[in-house]
Amino acid sequence: MSFLTHGHGGVVYHTSSVLDAPGLIQGFSTRLGGVSGGPFASMNFRGSGPEPDKRENVRENYRRFCEALGTDIRDVVQSKQVHEDTVRHVTSADRGKGLFVTTDYTADALVTDEPGLSLMVFSADCIILLLHDPVTSSVGAVHAGWRGTALDLPAKAVGEMGRLFGAKPENIRVAIGAGIGPCCFETHDDVPDAMRSAFGSGAEAYIEPKGEKWTVDLKGVNAWRLQEAGVREENIDVCSACTACRTDLYWSHRVTGDRRGVQGALIALTREEGRG
């Protein structure tokens, strides 16, 4: 398994080999290939913040990314992320929410089995994951910062794919994208305490002391918890890149603060795939 880097019209993005399947569109953006300038240069999907990027630039960035992946900007469904554990069942009624229609829900995970819907989540250090079950033709997209990780959100998304679509964990493929690594994620007691409270002694393997602080391997915790939920280890692909180490390629809140953009991850069933 591996993450592959692609270029299309200047847009640089990644795909995961574990999600390589007919009828599936998938991609993790970088900060390269967009039209935004200044602190948002250049591929930015964030139109809010203290000094927001220009709306027309953000819209063009979406268009370019979608074109690179071979999907339509009008099919994008965004998550309104709030660091909680809601999993949204996305239907055709949600098409365009966040870009063309006001998003009327909050959710840090989106799942669907309807073709033609592009699920999209965002990050600037947090962990973003894409899920696919080729048996039931269902997909998911998850945003898990340390709070979402402690809430076991990726595993809950796996559970919801089972409840809603009949997906079995052992058939689900998961790609864990670029995010802050333990090399750079130094925290006070709140983060390791949340992991211990949620997961017990098993969390200790992903927590290391560093002076008066701690480092936490969020990607490692999520991969472990997915396996505990029944996802096979060989079906989990983890991108090794740390967003805080590679600010030339990714957005990092830890490094640049709030005046910055976000990268995104998108997954969709093509209209020739899935049920219906």
Q: What is the pTM of this model?
A: 0.97
| pLDDT digit string, tens, across residues 211-245 | 999 999 999 999 999 999 999 999 999 999 999 99
In a domain, 174, yes or no: yes
β-pairing, 24-29 vs 263-269, is antiparallel
In a domain, 228, yes or no: yes
Burial of 188 (0-12, 13-18, 19+ CB in 10 A): exposed
In a domain, 35, yes or no: yes
Q: Which of 130, 128, 148, 111 is nearest to 45 (CA)?
A: 128
In a domain, 275, yes or no: no
pLDDT of residue 276: 39
pLDDT of residue 272: 67
Count of H-run helices and E-run strands, the chain: 6, 15
| pLDDT digit string, tens, across residues 151-181 | 999 999 999 999 999 999 999 999 999 999 9
Residue 274 has pLDDT above 70, yes or no: no
Residue 275 has pLDDT above 50, yes or no: no
Assign 48 a pLDDT band (cuts: 50, 70, 90).
confident
In a domain, 2, yes or no: no
- We report the CATH number of the domain holding residue 249 as 3.60.140.10
Residue 49 has pLDDT above 90, yes or no: no
- How high is the mean pLDDT of the chain? 96
Which segments within 68-198 are labelled E, that is strand? 76-78, 87-89, 109-112, 118-123, 127-133, 138-144, 173-176, 186-187
Over the range 172-187, which residues count as b (16 or more CB within 10 Å of their CB) and which as e?
A: bbbbbbbbbbbeebbb
| pLDDT digit string, tens, across residues 101-156 | 999 999 999 999 999 999 999 999 999 999 999 999 999 999 999 999 999 999 99
Over the range 109-143, which residues count as b (16 or more CB within 10 Å of their CB) and which as e?
A: bbbbbbbbbbbbbbbbbbbbbbbbbbebbbbbbbb
In a domain, 53, yes or no: yes
In a domain, 274, yes or no: no
CB 34 within 8 A of CB 64: yes
Rounded Cα distance, 77 and 260, in Å: 22
Count of domains forming the chain:
1
Domain membership of residue 180 as a residue range? 13-269
The H-or-E segment that residue 254 falls in is: helix 253-256
Q: What is the DSSP string of 190-232?
A: HHHHHHHHHHGGGGGGGEEEETTEEEE-HHHHHHHHHHHTT--
In a domain, 207, yes or no: yes
